[in-house]
């Protein structure tokens, strides 16, 4: 028996016992558990624990120590591990750098593989869409209807239509993300407007596919890796030197896979791209106030930007907003609190997701802000819906849309 055959044989036995070997790229996360001193500091900061209590969601520490169980027993955590919104607060406060959000993904992947019956039913819809269409949202049946919806959104928000640009030899790939492709189309349009406005040589993907984040979050590791591989192939074929996205989730996910799969191409969120590549002075001179008077704005920091990419991204976002004439930024005190929209929790435990957003709603409605601005279409949708349910008249804008609305048009 060759070494290769022996390995396959052992893998076969493991499968019978419900054990899924770790990937090489997961080992660093797995090893980080060794550092856990079981202090429980993370529990005091977890927004899900704060919203629904430790009895419903056993908290980050219990998740961290789950991995020390014998492998087939992961299924025992299924009732709590899918309630993690993946905000990353625990990793941020952890004195020992235990990578708890990634442990969640690793455990979910094992449950998905060996005990699919325990995966929340609400996730199978997304799973089907992802495997059938390679995006997280079901594409529109009728292209004309999709365009009509887009035009309506453009008109309502006062944006300008820019035709799609798919070309060879572009410098930048603009990757709007599933939500902006199929649902929040205004964000995709705003992104195009901005890049066009600053004369960037960009392109869209000819055939869009999801970065794999939703698949990874539900535990479907195979689909996640196959989507990531597709995307890598497309980026490499285009030969672009930078990737820009308007979605917070895509920013962190693309950065993760670009590092893991060695893309050799930097991935920026639009706010970073505008501040560091276009330059704040250039952006400032291209912006005008949208109406007379001062608009009081408060921001929300998407977890996927501040905790899964870098806290600096929100410094950039604030610098951008500061450059917009007629805008006053009001702090809410809860800007970095998870909106509850992450981790696919809203797909199967809406009550948990809504409970988490209450913290944001409370903080935002206590300010004098007339508008919430956030550089993430998912946070926008989640906070907008919660404010609406709360009876608040405060509107929520995606930051890219907010900027595009204020570009000086010839």
Partner 1 sequence: MELETDVLVIGGGMAGLAAACSAADAGASVIVVRKGHGATADSSGAIDIAGYLPGGNTPFQSGREGLRAITGLFPYHPYSVLGQESTETGSQFEKALERVEHSVNMLKKWLSGTPAETIGSLERNISAVTVLGTSKPTSLLQKTMLPPDWDDDSILLFEGFAGNPDFNAVLAAKTFMAERARVGEPPKKIADSELTLSPFGKPYNVSPVEIARHLDHPGGTAFLADSLSKDVERTGATHIALPPILGLKTPAENRRILEDRLDVQVFELLSFPPSVPGLRLLRSLDNTLAGLDVRILEAHEAMNYEQSGNRIVRVQCKTHHRSLDILPDSVILASGKFIGGGITGSENGLSERLFGLPVVSEDWTSTDGIRPQRLTRPISINSRGHALFACGVAVDMHLRPLDGSGNTFAENLFSAGSVLAGYNYPVEKSGLGVALATGVFAGTNAAHALQEE
**Which residue of 7, 15, 31, 97 would you call a contact of partner 1, by CB under 8 A?**
97
Q: For partner 1, which is the closer residue by CB, 304 or 348?
A: 304
Of residues 304, 165, 174, the one with CA closest to residue 235: 174
Q: Which two tokens stand for residue 390?
A: 């709360």
Q: Decide if 217 contacts 343 (C-beta within 8 A).
A: yes
Q: Which of 309, 332, 337, 386 binds partner 1 (CB under 8 A)?
A: 309
Asked whether position 311 contacts partner 1 by CB under 8 A, the answer is yes
Q: Which of residues 41 and 385 has its CB atom nearest to partner 1 in the complex?
A: 41
Q: Which of 9, 27, 40, 282 binds partner 1 (CB under 8 A)?
A: 40
| Binding of partner 1 by 59 (CB under 8 A) | yes
**Bridge partners (DSSP) listed for residue 372:** 298, 396
Among 32, 74, 87, 92, binds partner 1 (CB under 8 A): 92
Helices and strands in the chain, H and E counts: 23, 8
Would you tell me the crossing angle of helices 248-260 and 377-389 to the nearest 10 degrees? 150
Q: Taking CB under 8 A as the rule, does residue 50 contact partner 1?
A: yes
Q: Where does this chain touch partner 1 (CB under 8 A) — which range of 9-17, 205-213, 292-300, 308-316?
A: 308-316
Q: Which two tokens stand for residue 49?
A: 């624990």
Q: Which residue's CB is nearer to partner 1, number 312 or number 392?
A: 312
Within 212-325, strands assigned E span 242-245, 267-269, 295-299
Query: How many Å is the Cα radius of gyration of the chain?
Result: 22
CB of 97 to partner 1, least distance (A): 7
Picking from 229, 227, 150, 224, the residue whose alpha carbon sits closest to that of residue 191 is: 150
Minimal CA–CA distance to 298: which of 246, 357, 367, 248? 367
CB-hemisphere CA count at 13 Å for 194? 33
State in angstroms the smallest separation of the CB of 236 from partner 1.
20
Contact pattern from residue 241 through residue 280 relative to partner 1, giving x for each residue in contact according to CB under 8 A and a dash for the rest:
-----------x--xx--x----------------x----
**Could you tell me which of 86, 157, 128 has the C-alpha nearest to residue 356?**
86
In angstroms, give the least distance from the CB of 336 to partner 1: 8
Q: Figure out which of the listed residues 20, 26, 48, 58 binds partner 1, where binding follows CB under 8 A.
A: 58
Minimum CB separation of residue 107 from partner 1 in Å reads 20
Distances, alpha carbon 265 to alpha carbons 92, 171, 238, 255, in Å: 26, 11, 11, 9
Closest contact distance (angstroms) between CB of 60 and partner 1 is 12
The smaller minimum CB distance to partner 1, of residues 61 and 183, is found at 61
Measuring CA to CA, which residue among 201, 209, 302, 207 is closest to residue 251?
Answer: 302
Q: Which is nearer to partner 1, 37 or 294 (CB)?
A: 37
> How far is it, in rounded angstroms, from Cα 248 to Cα 307?
11
Among 37, 152, 229, 289, binds partner 1 (CB under 8 A): 37
Q: Which is nearer to partner 1, 88 or 219 (CB)?
A: 88
- Minimum distance from residue 93 beta carbon to partner 1 (Å): 4
Interface with partner 1 (CB under 8 A), residue total 36
Smaller CB distance to partner 1: residue 21 or 53? 53
Q: Among 22, 33, 96, 329, indicate the residue that binds partner 1 (CB under 8 A).
A: 96
Choose between 41 and 157: whose C-beta lies nearer to partner 1: 41
Task: Work out how close the CB of 197 gets to partner 1 at its nearest, in angstroms, rounded to a whole number.
Answer: 24
Task: Report the relative pairing of strands 172-175 and 202-203 from DSSP bridges.
Answer: parallel
Helices (H), 24-77: 27-32, 41-45, 47-52, 59-66
Least spacing, CB of residue 308 vs partner 1, in Å: 6
CA distances from 275 to 278, 283, 310 (A): 6, 8, 15
Is there binding between residue 307 and partner 1 (CB under 8 A)?
Answer: yes
Applying CB under 8 A, the span of 22-30, 33-41, 200-208, 233-241 interacting with partner 1 comes to: 33-41
- Beta carbons within 10 angstroms of residue 137's beta carbon: 17
Per CB under 8 A, residues contacting partner 1 are 37, 39-41, 43-45, 49-50, 52-56, 58-59, 88, 92-97, 252, 255-256, 259, 276, 306-313
């Amino acid at each position: 028996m060759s070494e290769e055959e022996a390995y396959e044989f052992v893998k076969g036995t493991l499968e019978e016992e419900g054990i899924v070997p770790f990937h090489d790229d997961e080992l660093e996360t797995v090893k980080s558990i060794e550092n856990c001193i079981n202090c429980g500091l993370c529990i005091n900061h977890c927004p899900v624990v704060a919203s629904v209590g430790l009895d419903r969601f056993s908290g980050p520490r219990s998740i961290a120590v789950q991995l020390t169980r014998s492998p087939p027993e992961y299924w025992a955590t299924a009732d709590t591990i899918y309630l993690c919104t993946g905000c990353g607060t625990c990793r941020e406060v952890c004195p020992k750098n235990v990578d708890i959000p990634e442990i969640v993904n690793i455990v979910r992947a094992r449950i998905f593989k060996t005990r699919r019956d325990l995966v929340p039913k609400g996730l199978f819809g997304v799973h089907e869409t992802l495997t059938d269409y390679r995006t997280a949202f079901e594409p529109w049946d009728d292209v004309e209807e999709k365009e009509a919806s887009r035009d309506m959104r453009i008109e309502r928000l006062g944006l300008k239509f820019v035709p799609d640009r798919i070309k060879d030899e572009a410098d930048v790939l603009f990757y709007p993300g599933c939500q902006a492709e199929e649902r929040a189309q205004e964000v995709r349009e705003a992104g195009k407007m901005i890049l066009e406005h600053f004369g960037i040589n960009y392109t869209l993907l000819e055939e869009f596919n999801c970065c794999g984040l939703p698949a990874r979050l539900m535990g479907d590791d195979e689909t996640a890796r196959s989507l990531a591989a597709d995307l890598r192939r497309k980026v490499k074929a285009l030969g672009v030197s930078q990737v820009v996205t308007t979605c917070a989730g895509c920013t962190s996910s693309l950065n993760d896979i670009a590092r893991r799969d060695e893309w050799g191409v930097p991935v920026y969120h639009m706010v970073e791209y505008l501040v560091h590549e276009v330059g704040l002075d250039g952006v400032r001179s291209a912006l005008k106030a949208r109406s007379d008077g001062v608009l009081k704005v408060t921001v929300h920091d998407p977890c996927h930007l501040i905790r899964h990419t870098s806290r600096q991204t929100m410094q950039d976002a604030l610098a951008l907003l500061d450059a917009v004439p007629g805008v006053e930024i009001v702090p809410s005190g809860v800007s970095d609190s998870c909106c509850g929209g992450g981790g696919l929790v809203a797909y199967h435990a809406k009550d948990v997701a809504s409970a988490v957003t209450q913290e944001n709603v409370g903080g935002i409605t206590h300010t004098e802000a007339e508008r919430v601005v956030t550089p993430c279409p998912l946070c926008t949708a989640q906070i907008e819906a919660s404010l609406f349910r709360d009876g608040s008249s405060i509107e929520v804008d995606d930051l890219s849309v907010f900027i595009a609305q204020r570009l000086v048009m010839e």
